[in-house]
Structure 1
Amino acid sequence: MREEETVTCESLKNKLLGRTEKQRMLIPIFQDHNNRMEKLIGKEFAKGTLTHYKTSLSHTEEFLVWKYNNSDINIRRINYAFLNDFELFLRTEKSCKNNSSVKYIKNLGKIIRICIANGWIEKDPFINYHSKFKEVTRVFLNELEIEAVFSKDFKNEGLSLVRDIFLFSCFTGFMIFLRDCNTKTLTTFNP
């Protein structure tokens, strides 16, 4: 109880016999997952997926220092309260919005499922934890905003090219949008 460890028959037996149980720590397990994922880039995973998991690992490391003043934690100590505190950290200290917070916690959930599958932890801390993605409404540029981008003069050729590609995608998307609205005539924007 003093060590805040879950007592099981096996752990009690090992303690009485003087055997030390191997401590499984969260950060090496998370890092091993990311290393395996990196080897599967282009085969099973996209590079962006790995980037999200690396960011999740970084936020988890920062959270451990923020909450526990420690660089790692035994996976058996991860519980419902840990998840709630992690979510609070993401929303307050990292200024993450709802969907970003949910995604980072979901990534941590995959690591926890790996631990459960390997028998390293018995109880899933996510059992009573619920979070949902919120629908995001995309705001489209209006004609004045597109015209402002069109008339912007960049000194850098690279930025001018990016502007032109962006405008091309706006114009083609704008035309598709008008067609989807069942308009009789297909109009384009000519600044």
Structure 2
Amino acid sequence: MARGGQGLARVAVVVRAGSAPMVWLGGCAAGIGVLVPGVTGRRIGVLAGAALFLVTAAVVAYRKRGRYGALLNGAARAGKHDVLQDRAVTVRVWRRGHRWWLVLAFVGALGSAFVVPAAGGLLLAGAGVGLWLKAAWIGRRERAVDALLWVRVDWLTARGGRPAGKAVRAFRSTGLAAGDAAPGGARRHADALV
């Protein structure tokens, strides 16, 4: 990076990166877990899992919204020497850095099926849905302020990939056309009009 530019990753992409693996792994664990009768029985396990799914999705979706809002309001414009990280690179880096946590969560969800069938898998899937909902909320905020939000890569890697963690002091912003991800962190389609 020349002349003091910083590497920047999209905030919504980082938030959204864990969503798909958590939903898939959680759904798989819940599906396998239904096959095990467990201590509580399948019916109680599935009902408890459904409740955990809804509560977890809501908690993850709403957690730290105030912090995200404060960082958004104080976002400075990205400099011309800043380097915008591709969506695929951001997702790959996040997933590589969290792969063992995902594996442990999957194994834990499978193991919990012997006590409460499907509940652990639905809990994991709920966390994934919550991340997706949070990314969608960030996307709506980005459209409202007509700017995409970015976080410095060095701050992001300092605290385990949390875009609103203590290491993050401010967001940067660009226009909606910057980068290869749409507001909310989804892939930008070539024919999409922003």
What is the TM-score of this pair, normalised by structure 1?
A: 0.24
With CA pairs under 8 Å and 6+ residues apart, which has the higher RCO, 1 or 2?
A: 2
Q: Specify which structure has the higher proportion of strand.
A: 2
What is the TM-score of this pair, normalised by structure 2?
A: 0.24
Between structure 1 and structure 2, the one with the greater Rg is: 1
